[in-house]
Structure 1
Amino acid sequence: MAAVLRARTGRELQRYDNQIRLVAGCIPYRLKQAAGNQSGDLMSKLEVLMITSPNRHDLVFPKGGWENDETINEAACREALEEAGVRGVIHETLLGVWEFKSKSKEKLCGQEGACRGFMFPLEVTEELESWPEQATHDRKWLNVCEAWKLCRYDWMREALNSLSTLIAGKPVRPLALPDVSEPATIFSLRRSSGTELVDNGINAFC
Structure 2
Amino acid sequence: MSGTLNIVYKDELVTAKRTEMPDGRVRQVAALVYRLKKDVPEVLLITSRGTGRWVLPKGWPQVGKTFACSAEAEAYEEAGVRGDISPFSVGTYRYEKDDMCDGEIGDFIVDVFPLEFIRQEKKWPERGERRLEWVSLEESASRVEEPELKALLMSFDPYRIPR
Name the TM-score class by shorter chain.
Answer: 0.7 to 0.9
Aligned-residue offset at 1:20 = 4.2
Structure 2: which 5+ runs fail to align? Answer: 1-15
Distance in 2, matches of 1:55 and 1:99, equals 18
Aligned equivalents of 2:108, 2:53: Cα separation in 1: 21
Tell whether the 8 Å contact from 2:95 to 2:146 is kept in structure 1 after alignment. Answer: no
Match of 2:158 among 167, 173, 176: 167
The structure with the larger Rg is 1
**TM-score (normalised: structure 2):** 0.74
The 10-residue stretch of structure 1 (119-128 or 52-61) with the greater mean CA deviation from structure 2 = 52-61
SS at match of 2:128: coil
Paired residues of 1:15 and 1:68 also in contact (CA < 8 A): no
Identity level (%): 28
How many residues are matched?
141
Whose RCO is larger (CA < 8 A, sep 6+)? 2
Asked if residue 27 in structure 1 is aligned to residue 32 in structure 2, the reply is yes
SS at match of 1:104: coil
CA distance in 2, matches of 1:145, 1:98: 17
CA contact (8 A) 2:29 2:70 kept: yes
CA distance in 1, matches of 2:54, 2:146: 10
Q: Give the superposition deviation at 1:55.
A: 3.7
Equivalent-residue separation in structure 2 for 1:119 and 1:16 (angstroms):
16
Taking only aligned residues, the RMSD between alpha carbons, in angstroms, comes to 2.3
Q: Distance in 2 between matches of 1:78 and 1:136?
A: 17
In the TM superposition, structure 1's runs of 4+ consecutive aligned residues that sit over 3 Å from their partners are 98-101
Q: C-alpha separation between the residues in 1 aligned to 2:95 and 2:143?
A: 20
Query: Once the 2 structures are TM-superposed, how far is the Cα of residue 51 of structure 1 from its aligned partner?
Result: 0.4
* 1:119–1:159 Cα contact (<8 Å) kept: no
